[in-house]
Amino acid sequence: MNSRKTDALVAVGALCAIIGGTHANLSWTGPLERPLDPAGTLLITVAALSLACRRTAPLAAGAVAVAAAVVYYAAHYPGVFAAAPALASVYTLAMLGRRRAAIGLSVAMSLPVYALMALASEDPAAGNWMTLLSGWLVAMVVVGEVTRSRRAYLRAVEQRAEEAERTREEAALRRAGEERLWIAQELHDSLTHSISVVNVQVALALELLDRRPERVRPALEAIKESGHEAMRELRATLGVLRTREADEADGAEAGLAGLPRLVSRAEGAGLRVAHTVSGEPYALPPEVGRAAYRIAQEALTNVLRHAGAGAVTVAVEYDPRKIILKVDNDGEPGTAPPGMGLIGMRERAVALGGSFTAGPGPHGGFTVRAELPVRAAA
């Protein structure tokens, strides 16, 4: 039910209650009362029905209710109930935040009524209810202000709750996006490397099939091993969808401990790889070891696919505050279209607060360099 229908029902209910209470002599305004006639009933009706507009036109409705009440009491009609619509209008103005209008309407109601009482030929009887009019008007202003403040507080609480819920939803969507990006990077780095090794070995096997068939078997075995490796890494990566403890599922391969095996696979694909370690090795945080491993893996994959290099150097330097990883090759950048490899390596390094550079090496070829800060080395 909308506010208009609600106010109309309130107005009709107020009219019935005021007329019924007045005819039942439930209140009185002094010894000079006159019987309620049609004119008095009309004044009560006008005052009560003005409540139908108490929210759409509160000041106008209040002015009508006050004017009807003042005329009613000036004519010495009985009962205090005729003041109820004016009190309701004062409350409504205060509740809507129109404090000055509510106070002004209270003054416009009280002054004429008390002036009529002061000019009466006989003093009002002790305990006359009309002497409490100012108290009721003040009470209506106060209650209206309290109601407005409470509603404003509840609206603020609801808005904060909605904002918190929206923030949680946005955070969940952001985490889901980051999770998808993480899985895409893992799949790209691991599968691209394995597939590149397979492609190199297949090309080698096809080339040697007719000229030197005895060398085909090692190439096929390398293809089989690469396929198994790709499946193992794929299962480990997809395991992240079931648990965030992917480091355990991935085992040592996800850190620098798996770098020798990665170098061995690259050598099996025909590269000459030199693996050097400088500084005093120490245990790395899982996220740092994983990032270093994936960057080295992607760098070797790019060498296999694009560089046409014969020799590669993978150097790891243990600094007390960071890990420095360099992968140099003696080939050329190649003519293949740009992919996501360099972008993925840079994103991994930057996500940990590190840095990444890639470009021509100091002695020819191509070099990638990643510096990964170590926040908590065990």
* SS3 (DSSP) at 137: helix
* SS3 (DSSP) at 327: strand
Q: Are 227 and 198 in contact (CB under 8 A)?
A: yes
Phi, psi angles (nearest 5°) of residue 328? -110, 145
Percent of the chain with pLDDT over 90: 8
In single-letter form, the type of residue at position 1 comes to: M
* SS3 (DSSP) at 177: helix
| pLDDT reported for residue 220 | 74
DSSP 125: P
Give the whole-angstrom CA distance, residue 338 versus residue 357: 16
- Mean per-residue pLDDT, 102-120: 82
Give the whole-angstrom CA distance, residue 185 versus residue 333: 22
Answering whether pTM is above 0.75, one says no
Instruction: Give the torsion sign (CA, 37, 40, 42, 47).
Output: negative
Q: How confident is the model at residue 304 (pLDDT cuts 50, 70, 90)?
A: confident
pLDDT digits (tens, 9 = 90+) for 234-292: 666 666 555 444 444 444 455 788 888 888 877 877 778 889 999 888 888 888 888 88
* SS3 (DSSP) at 26: coil
| pLDDT reported for residue 363 | 66
| pLDDT reported for residue 324 | 92
CA angle 114–119–124, rounded 5-degree value: 65
pLDDT digits (tens, 9 = 90+) for 120-165: 666 554 345 566 777 888 888 899 899 989 988 888 898 888 888 8
| pLDDT reported for residue 125 | 47
Give the whole-angstrom CA distance, residue 245 versus residue 88: 65
Residue 298 above 80 pLDDT? yes
Residue 297 above 90 pLDDT? no
Tokens of 41: 């009933």
Mean pLDDT of the chain, nearest integer? 78
Residue 339 above 70 pLDDT? no
Other C-beta atoms closer than 10 Å to the C-beta of 89 total 30
- Mean per-residue pLDDT, 103-115: 86
- Mean per-residue pLDDT, 60-88: 87
